[in-house]
Amino acid sequence: MRIIIVGASKVGSQLAVSMAGDNHEVAVVDKNPESFHRLGKDFPGRLVHGTGIDEGVLEEAGIREADAVVAVTNNVNANLMIVQIARVIYKVPRVATMLPYDDPLEQFSRRLGIKIVSLPRLGARAIERCIKEVPEKCI
Amino acid sequence: MYIIIVGGGKVGYYLTRTVLNEGHEVTLIEFDPGKAAKLAEEFGEIVLAGDGSRIRVLEEAGCSRADVVVAVTGEDEDNLIISQLASQRFKVRRVIARVNNPRNQHIFSVLGVAATVSSTSIIARMIEREVATQEMHTILSFERGDLDLVELDLKPLSPAARKHVRDIALPEGCLLVTVIRGGKVVVPKGQTVLREGDRILALIPQDKYGELEKTLLGDRG
């Protein structure tokens, strides 16, 4: 799978390393080149310096051929803009982002076929499971 | 009218002052609490401190009864999300977004935010017109600047003078609206012959200034 990850944030870099380890073709975009250090020295994917809300930058990262685009910068609205550009303009089949709050914002983004991970829900569910069911599976 | 302005920077500040003076009801939403407090010193309780791209903040501002929402923060991504929420969730009829990077205007329009204002492109366009055409004048801009009504006077050496309207190959999207001849209006038809001294009013897409000038007035110099 060809995947573009916008934002070498903590989540973004971990995802990038993990996907690249699974032999996926990964390109990471970040407007701050210093963030790329989180990927480690041996990261096999491509690094693209630039802002993810710019079509030129996304094209340089290969969005025209991408199978998936993930927006995980530290800027919520930029993430929402990036996933919409990917889905609506470039028709990327799989597009995902995450939200640090549980606003009904999901509703309108879901209409476009954008997957949104809600951090409060995800965290609450994971913790609940830790406590109730399978404590050994807690990370 | 009830107008919600999101973003209390320079644009938001002067806009708030202007529309208040015109007697409209306004709420100004500013993210930065310090800035919001300062704005409140001048504008009073119409200032709301909060993130205007969050649904509950827009709800608090009474977004569903707003006639107009204007998103004029300094960040395009914020202006996009604010505008989308206002129009798609709160069904606000008139939503206007400031676009800082003119390249984003296209993205906004594809993503459903048609009414965008980019001061950069407006100024660039004005300069372009001034440089490109000294003989054609813009009278009115429609479609937020994509379509202009222009006027020009035919000179003796203009290639369009003494020609039938039907024989003039106008650039694509251009329309001769009217010809003013000796103070009288002539509706241009195919058989109308243009003359020197005719004042022509035409509707043109804003990227056709150079082409239309060449067609009607010829190369300068």
Q: Is B61 left (phi over 0), alpha (psi -120 to 50) or beta?
A: alpha
Q: In terms of domains, do B65 and B136 share one?
A: no
List pLDDT tens digits, range A68-77: 999 999 999 9
Among residues B93, B120, B147, the one where a domain terminates is B120
Same domain, residue pair B13 and B97 = yes
Range of the domain at A43: 2-137
Task: Provide, as residue numbers in chain B, all residues whose Cβ is less than 8 Å from the Cβ of A108.
Answer: 84-85, 88-89
Q: Report the C-alpha dihedral over residues A22, A84, A12, A1, rounded to 10 degrees.
A: 10
- CA pair distance B50, B36, nearest whole angstrom: 9
Tens digit of each residue's pLDDT (9 = 90 or more) over A36-63: 999 999 999 999 999 999 999 999 999 9
pLDDT band at B131 (very low <50, low <70, confident <90, very high): low
For A78-113, b where at least 16 C-beta lie within 10 A, e where not — what string?
A: bbbbbbbbbbbebebebbbbbbeeeeebbebbeeee
- Smallest CA–CA separation between A15 and chain B, in Å? 24
Instruction: Identify the CA nearest to A4 among candidates A32, A35, A34, A26.
Output: A26
Which of B59, B85, B120 is the C-terminal boundary of a domain? B120
As a whole number, mean pLDDT of residues A94-105 equals 85
A104–B89 CB contact, under 8 Å: yes
Q: B16 and B96 share a domain?
A: yes
Indicate the pLDDT class of residue B143, thresholds 50, 70 and 90. low
Q: Quote the number of domains for chain B.
A: 2
Residue B91 and residue B110 in contact, taking contact as beta carbons nearer than 8 Å: no
Considering only residues B28 and B155, tell me which one the structure prediction assigns the higher pLDDT.
B28
Shared domain check, B115 and B7: yes
CATH value at residue B137: 3.30.70.1450
Residue-range definition of the domain harbouring residue B46: 2-120
Q: In the predicted model, what is the mean pLDDT of chain A?
A: 91
Identify the CATH number of the domain in which residue A40 sits. 3.40.50.720
Is residue B79 domain-shared with residue B181, that is, in the same domain?
no
Question: Which range has the top average pLDDT, B51-65, B123-137, B159-173?
Answer: B51-65
Element (H, E) at B122: helix B119-132
pLDDT (0 to 100) of residue A25: 97
Of A89, A103, A107, the CB nearest to B107: A89
Q: What local confidence, expressed as pLDDT, does residue B50 receive?
A: 97
CA distance B52 to chain A (A): 11
- Shared domain for B112 and B11, answered yes or no, is yes
Choose the final residue of a domain: B85, B120, B155: B120
Is the residue at B91 inside a domain? yes
CATH of the domain at B116: 3.40.50.720
Model pLDDT, residue B124 = 74
Flag whether pLDDT at B155 surpasses 90: no
Q: Do B103 and A89 touch (CB under 8 A)?
A: no
Contact status of B184 with chain A (Cβ, < 8 Å): no
**Mean pLDDT, rounded, for A114-137:** 83
**Residue B114 sits in the same domain as residue B135:** no
Structure-model confidence comparison of residues B129 and A28, the more confident one: A28
Average pLDDT over residues B181-209: 91
* Higher pLDDT, residue A108 or A71: A71
- Output the pLDDT for position A137: 61
User: Distance between alpha carbon A134 and the CA centroid of its chain, in Å?
Assistant: 28
Same domain, B19 and B38: yes
Distance from CA of A64 to the nearest CA of B (A): 16
- To test the contact with chain A by mutation, choose from B6, B53, B77 the residue with the greatest count of A C-beta atoms within 10 A, namely B77
Average pLDDT over residues B35-39: 96
Res B134: pLDDT? 64
Examine the pLDDT at B221 and tell me if it is beyond 60.
no
Give the pLDDT band (50/70/90) at residue B125.
confident
pLDDT for residue A139 is more than 70: no
Q: How many domains does chain A have?
A: 1
Task: Look at residue A116 in the predicted model and tell me its pLDDT.
Answer: 87
A88 part of contact set with chain B, CB < 8 Å: yes
B179 within a domain of the structure (yes/no): yes
Query: pTM, whole model, 2 decimals?
Result: 0.76
Partner-chain residue, chosen from B55, B78, B80, that has the shortest CB–CB distance to A105: B55
- B86 and B45 within one domain: yes
Structure-block tokens of residue B198: 């005719």
Res B144: pLDDT:
65
- Give yes or no for A18 touching B (CB within 8 A): no
